[in-house]
Amino acid sequence: DLHPEELADLFKTTQLVADLVEKHFSATSLTIAIQDGPEAGQSVRHVHVHVLPRREGDFQRNDSVYEELQRHDRESEDAPSGWRSEEEMGAEAADLRRLLQRT
Q: Are 87 and 12 in contact (CB under 8 A)?
A: no
Query: Given 3, 24, 46, 48, which residue is catalytic?
Result: 48
Whether 50 sits among the annotated catalytic residues: the reply is: no
Interacting residues of 77 by C-beta distance below 8 A, sequence separation 6+: none
d(CA 57, CA 62): 8
Residues with a known catalytic role: 48
